[in-house]
Structure 1
Amino acid sequence: MAAPREHVAGLLGVRVEHVGDLGTSHSWTLHRMSLADGREVFVKAAAADGGFFAAEAAGLRWLAEAGPHAPVPEVLAADERTLVLPWLPAEPPAPRAAERFGRDLAALHTASAPTAYGAPWDGYIADLPLDNTLDGGGWPRWYAERRLAPFLRRARPHLSASDVRLVERVIDRIEELAGPPEPPSRLHGDLWSGNVLWTGGRALVIDPAAHGGHRETDLAMLALFGAPHLERVLAAYDEAAPLADGWRRRVALHQLHPLLVHVALFGASYRARTVEAARAALAAAS
Structure 2
Amino acid sequence: MRPFGSSGTGSGSGRRGRDPLTGTLADRVSALLDLEVRRAARAGSSHDWILSYAELADGTRLFVKSLSRGSAPTGVLVAEARGLEWLGRSFGSPAIQPLGWDERLLVLPLVEQHEPTPAAAERLGRQLAGTHLTGADSFGADWPGYIGPLPLDNTPARHWPRFYAEQRLRPYLRRALDQGALTPSDARAVEKVVDSVEELAGEPEAPARVHGDLWNGNVLWRERDAVLIDPAAHGGHREADLAMLALFGLPYLDRVRDAYNEVAPLSSGWRGRVALHQLHPLLVHVCLFGAAYRTTAMEAARTAFRSS
What is the match of residue 301 of structure 2? 278
8 A contact 2:50–2:67 mirrored in 1: yes
What is the match of residue 54 of structure 1? 78
Q: What pairs with 1:17-32 in structure 2 (closer than 5 Å)? A: 17-32=38-53
2:80 aligned partner, one-letter code: E
8 A contact 1:123–1:209 mirrored in 2: yes
User: How far apart are 1:230 and its partner, in Å?
Assistant: 0.5
What is the match of residue 237 of structure 1? 260
8 A contact 1:26–1:127 mirrored in 2: yes
Q: Deviations over 1:43-72 (max 9, x none)?
A: 0010231211100000000001113x2101
What is the match of residue 114 of structure 1? 136
- SS of the residue corresponding to residue 293 of structure 2 reads helix
What is the match of residue 249 of structure 1? 272
What is the match of residue 196 of structure 1? 219
How far apart, CA to CA, are the structure 2 residues paired with 1:227 and 1:278? 22
Q: TM-score, normalised by structure 2?
A: 0.90
Q: Deviations over 1:241-278 (max 9, x none)?
A: 00000101100000000000000001000000000000
How far apart, CA to CA, are the structure 2 residues paired with 1:50 and 1:260? 22
What is the match of residue 6 of structure 1? 27
Q: What pairs with 1:95-174 in structure 2 (closer than 5 Å)? A: 95-111=118-134, 113-135=135-157, 137-156=158-177, 157-174=180-197
Is 1:218 matched up with 2:237? no
Q: Deviations over 1:90-127 (max 9, x none)?
A: 1100000000000000000002x112000000000000
1:146 aligned partner, one-letter code: Q
8 A contact 1:192–1:222 mirrored in 2: yes
Work out which of the residue numbers 66, 88, 94 in structure 2 matches 1:45: 66
8 A contact 1:46–1:82 mirrored in 2: yes
Is 1:87 matched up with 2:110? yes
How far apart, CA to CA, are the structure 2 residues paired with 1:173 and 1:74? 38
Work out which of the residue numbers 57, 72, 76 in structure 1 matches 2:99: 76
User: How far apart are 1:2 and its partner, in Å?
Assistant: 2.4
1:129 aligned partner, one-letter code: P
Q: Which runs of 5+ in 1 are unaligned?
A: none
How far apart, CA to CA, are the structure 1 residues paired with 2:175 and 2:254? 33
8 A contact 2:115–2:223 mirrored in 1: no
What is the match of residue 206 of structure 1? 229
Runs of 4+ in 1 over 6 A off after TM superposition: none
1:43 aligned partner, one-letter code: V
- SS of the residue corresponding to residue 197 of structure 1 reads strand
- Indicate the RMSD between aligned Cα atoms, in angstroms: 1.0
State how many pairs are aligned.
Answer: 282
Q: What pairs with 1:168-183 in structure 2 (closer than 5 Å)? A: 168-183=191-206
- State the structure with more CA Rg: 2
How far apart, CA to CA, are the structure 2 residues paired with 1:130 and 1:214? 15
8 A contact 2:172–2:287 mirrored in 1: yes
8 A contact 1:252–1:280 mirrored in 2: yes
- SS of the residue corresponding to residue 267 of structure 1 reads helix
How far apart, CA to CA, are the structure 1 residues paired with 2:154 and 2:283? 17
Taking every aligned residue pair, what percent have the same amino acid on both sides?
55
- SS of the residue corresponding to residue 2 of structure 1 reads helix
How far apart, CA to CA, are the structure 2 residues paired with 1:133 and 1:200? 38
- SS of the residue corresponding to residue 21 of structure 2 reads coil
2:212 aligned partner, one-letter code: G
Q: Which runs of 5+ in 2 are unaligned?
A: 1-19
How far apart, CA to CA, are the structure 2 residues paired with 1:50 and 1:201? 36
How far apart, CA to CA, are the structure 2 residues paired with 1:36 and 1:14? 8
User: How far apart are 1:13 and its partner, in Å?
Assistant: 1.2
